[in-house]
C-alpha cells in the first residue's frame, strides 16, 4: 500500500504521458490504464488482445478516453489497496478533496464468465470499501444525516449493504480546523453538500 503523489492539470491534459504515470486495472480478462489525472486512456474488454474501447494512449486526439477529474489543477495521491488492483486516488484542489476508488469488478466464477465492468466511484455521502470476500464495493459508514436510501439512490450499480451500517465518526477539532481553514477555506463543500 504505497502512496504516490503528483501534481496534475494544465499541461498534462494535452500531452502524451510516460507509461509510468499510469495505473493498471484488470479482472484477469479486461484491462484499463488510468493516468494520474484520472483519465482511462487505454481499455480493452473481453480479452487483453481485444480491440480497444479507449486508446488515447496512442492517439491523443481521436483515441477516446473516460475522465473523472477536477476542472482546476490538483495534487493527486494514489495507491492500490493491499493485495488488490483496487486503485484509490485522493484528489486535492484549492476548493476541496475527493476520493476516487476504481477497479475492474471481480466476482466468484468470474474466471470463466467475467462481467468486464470498470467501476469508478466518487462520493461525499459515505465511506465505501472493497473489503468483502468477492472484493465487491460495500457501504462501510454513512456520513451524518445521510441514509442508506440516499446512497443507494445515488449509486448506479449494486452496492453491498451490511445489516448494520454505522455513522461515520465526526471529525476532531483539529481535523475541522484543517478542513475549514486549509483544505476548504472558501466553504465550497458546504455549497455542494449542505449540512442537514
Task: State how far Cα 73 lies from the chain centre.
Answer: 17
Which pLDDT belongs to residue 117? 63
**pLDDT tens-digit profile, the chain (196 residues):** 444 555 565 544 557 788 888 988 887 778 888 888 888 888 887 777 777 778 788 887 888 777 777 767 788 888 888 888 888 888 887 777 777 888 777 666 656 665 656 666 666 778 777 666 665 678 888 888 889 988 888 776 677 888 889 998 887 888 777 767 766 677 766 655 555 5
The grid coordinates listed for 132 are 468483502
Which pLDDT belongs to residue 13? 54
- Please check whether residue 39 is in contact with residue 66, taking contact to mean a CB–CB distance below 8 angstroms: yes
Which pLDDT belongs to residue 1? 43
Which pLDDT belongs to residue 183? 62
Which pLDDT belongs to residue 9? 58
Strand residues in the chain grouped as ranges (E): 4-8, 22-26, 31-35, 39-44, 52-55, 66-67, 74-80, 87-93, 96-104, 118-122, 126-129, 138-142
Which pLDDT belongs to residue 114? 58
Which pLDDT belongs to residue 118? 67
Partnered with residue 25 across adjacent β-strands are: 32
Which pLDDT belongs to residue 74? 80
Amino acid at each position: 500500500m504505497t502512496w504516490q503523489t503528483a501534481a496534475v492539470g494544465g499541461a498534462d491534459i494535452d500531452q502524451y504521458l510516460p507509461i509510468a504515470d499510469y495505473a493498471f486495472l484488470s479482472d484477469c480478462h479486461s484491462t484499463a490504464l488510468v493516468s494520474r489525472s484520472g483519465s482511462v486512456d487505454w481499455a480493452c474488454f473481453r480479452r487483453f488482445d481485444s480491440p480497444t474501447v479507449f486508446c488515447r494512449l496512442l492517439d491523443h486526439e481521436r483515441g477516446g478516453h473516460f475522465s473523472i477529474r477536477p476542472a482546476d489543477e490538483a495534487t493527486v495521491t494514489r495507491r492500490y489497496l493491499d493485495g488488490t488492483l483496487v486503485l484509490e486516488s485522493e484528489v486535492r484542489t484549492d476548493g476541496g478533496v475527493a476520493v476516487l476508488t476504481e477497479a475492474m469488478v471481480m466476482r466468484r466464477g468470474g474466471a470463466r464468465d467475467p462481467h468486464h465492468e470498470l467501476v469508478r466511484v466518487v462520493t461525499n455521502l459515505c465511506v465505501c470499501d472493497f473489503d468483502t470476500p468477492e472484493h465487491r464495493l460495500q457501504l462501510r459508514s454513512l456520513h451524518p444525516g445521510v441514509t442508506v436510501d440516499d446512497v443507494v439512490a445515488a449509486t448506479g450499480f449494486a452496492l453491498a449493504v451490511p445489516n448494520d451500517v454505522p455513522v461515520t465518526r465526526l471529525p476532531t477539532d483539529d481535523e475541522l480546523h484543517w478542513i475549514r481553514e486549509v483544505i476548504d477555506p472558501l466553504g465550497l463543500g458546504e455549497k455542494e453538500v449542505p449540512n442537514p
